[in-house]
Amino acid sequence: MALKGLIRVTGLCVYHMKYTSVVTSNRALATTVSCRYSCTKLPAEIQQQSQENMTLVSNLEIMGVDITMARMRQPGVLKRMITHEESLAKFLLSKGASKQTIANIVSRYPRAITRTHEHLHKKWEIWQSILKTDSDILKIVERSPESFFRSENIENLEENIIFLSSLGLTPKDLSRLLAKAPRTFSNRTELNKQIVDFLKDVYLCLGGETPQDFVRHIISKNIFLLIRSTKRLKANIDFLQSALQLTDRELLVFIQGHGAEILDLCHNYIKKNFANAQQKLLSIGCSEAEITRCIISCPSMLYLSHLNFVTKIDILVEAGINSHQILERPRVLDVSVDTIKGRIKDLADIDYDYQALGISILELSKSRFEARFKKLRDSK
């Protein structure tokens, strides 16, 4: 019984065993038992922390890094014996980052501390050839640390820049790609080439004659295409052609225009939102043909969640706006719910007549709306 009790104690308390003196005649046996049970009885978190480089953890804590977050994101980094947290901090400080910014970057992407000063300097130079200023680069690094620190392959980065430039993308296009879809540059060059080849094949199959121009044009329209799978893009293109009943020629015109904006969306999301939008618009008296034309002219409505879409339609209808007016000015659905509500309230105060004056006022920019509203109010 005494031995069983000792096994239970050592199983639960082995983490502190080296600091505890057990006064017993069976000291040697107790040590053997504790070793045997340490792997199975230790809580996972304690086991993990016991394997970490405590000097590194201490250094990161001094820097203000959220160790809990870092441990959750990339636990293996905290076990490394060789890291470069000090040179990373010095490098980012020299580029204008604050200590808090550096702590946030490492908390969210701990692997950043594994990059050498030489690597950081070289990659920064390459990014600077596109973005020009340290502050522009720093904004991206702060927003998406993974985009800068993820890949060690400098050669791949340079190859991607050469490849994307060969497509005819301008420095402005490359800047947008780096700012909003930086993973494009850390992807394997072959992966980017696969996406480009797929887009060219789609274009040629639909009867196009200048695939290089098409690729440049569609990527400049939607910079997220290069970080999506060909499977998703194909599924979306096939669905849109079927749902909108487009000929090959019509589909080509559509995806070269506003249709390009939605090709990167999750396939199930597009299908679900299409069905929801169709159902809601039918319920307020729109025909299927009218709905199709509306979506073709303003595919961005498929970005909206079901609740968001329904709420906006209901607000407009309750204000006395009819379905045909909504279909004629579908961009009004791009305006936020709160903005629509506020504008409708303001216009109600001056007895604005939507039937006579239209609803285009609702989709104006803030400054233009205020100027137009002031003019209408003063004319009363």
Residue among 118, 67, 111 at smallest CA distance from 85: 111
Read off the pLDDT band of 24 (50, 70, 90): very low
pLDDT of amino acid 182: 84
Mean pLDDT (whole number) for 236-255: 96
Q: Residue 65 pLDDT > 70, yes or no?
A: yes
% of the chain beyond a pLDDT of 70: 87
Please say whether the beta carbons of 316 and 346 come within 8 A: no
Please say whether the beta carbons of 340 and 354 come within 8 A: no
Please say whether the beta carbons of 329 and 359 come within 8 A: yes
pLDDT of amino acid 311: 96
DSSP 251-304: HHHHHHTGGGGGTTS-HHHHHHHHHHHHHHHHHTT--HHHHHHHHHH-GGGGGS
pLDDT of amino acid 234: 96
Read off the pLDDT band of 5 (50, 70, 90): very low
Mean pLDDT (whole number) for 262-289: 95
Task: Compute the 3-state secondary structure of the chain and give helix, strand, coil in percent, each to the nearest 5.
Answer: 75, 0, 25
d(CA 210, CA 212): 6
pLDDT of amino acid 48: 56
Token code pair at residue 333 = 């659905």
pLDDT of amino acid 18: 40
Residue among 159, 158, 189, 53 at smallest CA distance from 113: 53
**Dmax over Cα atoms in the chain, in whole Å?**
101
Tens digits of per-residue pLDDT, 295-341? 999 999 999 999 999 999 999 999 999 999 999 999 999 999 999 99
Read off the pLDDT band of 34 (50, 70, 90): very low
pLDDT of amino acid 8: 37
pLDDT of amino acid 180: 86
**Close Cβ partners of 351 (under 8 Å, ≥ 6 residues apart):** none
d(CA 95, CA 92): 5
Tens digits of per-residue pLDDT, 98-110? 999 999 999 999 9
Q: Residue 1 pLDDT > 50, yes or no?
A: no
pLDDT of amino acid 46: 56
> Residue 231 to residues 182, 265, 269, 316, 345: CA-CA distances in angstroms?
21, 12, 15, 37, 45
Q: Helix or strand or coil: residue 257?
A: coil
Residue among 73, 72, 44, 77 at smallest CA distance from 60: 77
pLDDT of amino acid 17: 41
State the residue for tokens 């969640």.
Answer: 305
Average pLDDT of the residues of the chain: 87
Q: Residue 171 pLDDT > 80, yes or no?
A: yes
Q: Residue 226 pLDDT > 60, yes or no?
A: yes
pLDDT of amino acid 47: 55
Mean pLDDT (whole number) for 82-98: 95
pLDDT of amino acid 12: 37
Q: What DSSP element (H or E) covers 265? A: none
Mean pLDDT (whole number) for 275-293: 94
Please say whether the beta carbons of 358 and 320 come within 8 A: no
pLDDT of amino acid 49: 62
Report the alpha-carbon angle 186-192-197, nearest 5.
Answer: 180
Region of poorest pLDDT, from 178-182, 214-218, 230-234, 272-276: 178-182
Q: Residue 61 pLDDT > 70, yes or no?
A: yes
Residues belonging to the chain: 380
